Each structure stands twice: as structure tokens, then as C-alpha cells.
């Protein structure tokens, strides 16, 4: 997982990643750019490619990963259950995940509203199906809203370093539970 590799390198400073072609250790900035480029399909690594955006998949998911790791949780890929992340108290070796997380970029800044940018739209039936899958495996769904900064603020903060740019991302959590009228009287 690129988010975990970047967290171990950037967040904790305990991992070095080597370029297999040149044999040199990639800097944190090189890793940051590499993971951002490859969060798009096809990857945006050519001179004619559009610029990277502050709402690219790597940045938004890394903000969530870093948030929960900093709180002591262990996030792991949740594709098996139709979610972005599974959240473990101590890790998959020790216990089962308690929560399934779905990451949703939020464009709450006035700049995004002026540009008309909206987050991804999903029908209620999609949400119902995810809740149903998770309830069958005794996990609760948490919607994670990540406030995405506008491009000009992000680029300005990035000049002062990755840490300053990542501080612009705010993470909000909303718990979704299935309600049954027979069980909840």
C-alpha cells in the first residue's frame, strides 16, 4: 500500500525506498510525487499530462491513513468488503477489524463552490448494500469526509514542505448504523 509506505518513510522516518533502476534512495519529495502520479489511471508522469490536483486519490487516502495511524488505529485495504479501509484496533494478526471506512472528498471551501466542484454522487442503494455487507461480518460503517483545500492554497503550502500541505486536509468521521425497528424499541 503506497499510503503505508509513505507513512513509514515520511511520518515515522523508518523506511527507505530505493529506485531499482538507479539504486539511489528516493527522497520523501520524490516518493510524494511518485505516489501522487500513480494514483491516477493512467499515471500522470509525462510532460504533456495535466497537473496533479489536491484531490488526487493518494492525497485524500493518505490524509485518512495518517489520521488513523496517528490515533493508534491500524488501517488496511478494505476492498474485500467494498470499502476503502478496514480499521483494526491492533492489527489483523491480533483481532478482526471493527470498522469499514469509505473515504469521501469534501469540497467545502468557498473556492470549490465557486468552481462548481462536487464530491462523487452515490445512490442510497449503494450505501444500503455496503452497510448490509458490513453488518453481516459484524463491522460498522464510517463515512470519512476529507476537506480538500483549493489548488492555490495547496500549492502555496507545498512550497513550505509536505507537512504544511498535509495540514490543510481535515478529516471528519460519520458513523452509519443499520437500524431495525424490531431490535431498537
Is there a catalytic annotation at residue 136? no
Residue 184 lies in a domain: no
113 pLDDT band, cuts 50/70/90, is confident
Mean per-residue pLDDT over the chain, rounded: 90
> What is the pLDDT at residue 82?
93
| Residue 172 belongs to domain with CATH number | 3.40.1350.10
Q: Does any domain span residue 170?
A: yes
Is 182 within the bounds of a domain? no
Phi, psi of 11 (to 5 degrees): -70, -45
pLDDT value for 33:
87
- Of 175, 169, 173, 158, give the one whose Cα is nearest residue 60: 169
pLDDT of res. 151:
93
Active site residue 96: yes
Domain residues for the domain of 132 are: 2-176
pTM: 0.89
DSSP annotation of 81? G
pLDDT score, position 44: 78
Tell whether 80 is covered by a domain: yes
Q: Which of 61, 62, 139, 145 is catalytic?
A: 139
> Which of the residue ranges 3-7, 45-49, 126-130, 131-135 would you say has the lowest mean pLDDT?
45-49
pLDDT tens for 29-85 read 999 888 988 888 888 777 666 677 899 899 999 999 999 999 999 999 999 999 999
How open is the CA angle 158-103-165, to the nearest 5 degrees? 10
**88 an active-site residue?**
yes
- Model pLDDT for residues 157-169, shown as the tens digit of each residue: 999 999 999 999 9
Total domains, the chain: 1
Please pick, among 88, 107, 145, 169, the residue that the annotation labels catalytic: 88
What are the CA-CA distances from residue 136 to residues 89, 129, 133 (Å)?
20, 11, 5
Is the residue at 24 inside a domain? Answer: yes
At residue 87, does pLDDT exceed 90?
yes
Angle at 114 (CA atoms; ends 168, 160), nearest 5 degrees:
25
Amino acid at each position: 500500500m503506497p499510503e503505508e509506505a509513505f507513512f513509514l518513510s515520511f511520518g515515522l522516518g523508518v523506511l527507505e525506498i530505493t529506485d531499482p533502476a538507479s539504486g539511489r534512495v528516493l527522497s520523501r519529495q520524490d516518493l510524494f510525487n511518485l505516489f501522487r502520479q500513480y494514483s491516477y489511471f493512467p499515471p500522470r508522469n509525462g510532460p504533456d499530462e495535466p497537473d496533479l490536483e489536491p484531490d488526487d486519490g493518494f492525497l485524500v487516502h493518505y490524509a485518512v491513513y495518517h489520521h488513523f495511524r496517528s490515533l493508534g488505529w491500524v488501517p488496511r485495504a478494505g476492498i474485500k468488503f467494498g470499502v476503502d479501509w478496514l480499521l483494526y484496533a491492533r492489527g489483523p494478526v491480533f483481532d478482526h477489524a471493527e470498522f469499514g471506512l469509505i473515504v469521501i472528498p469534501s469540497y467545502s471551501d468557498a473556492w470549490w463552490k465557486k468552481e462548481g466542484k462536487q464530491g462523487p454522487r452515490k445512490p442510497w442503494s449503494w450505501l444500503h448494500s455496503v452497510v448490509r455487507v458490513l453488518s453481516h461480518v459484524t463491522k460498522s460503517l464510517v463515512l470519512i469526509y476529507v476537506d480538500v483545500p483549493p489548488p492555490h492554497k495547496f500549492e502555496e503550502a507545498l512550497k513550505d514542505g509536505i507537512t504544511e500541505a498535509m495540514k490543510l486536509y481535515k478529516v471528519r468521521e460519520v458513523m452509519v448504523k443499520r437500524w431495525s425497528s424490531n431490535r431498537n424499541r
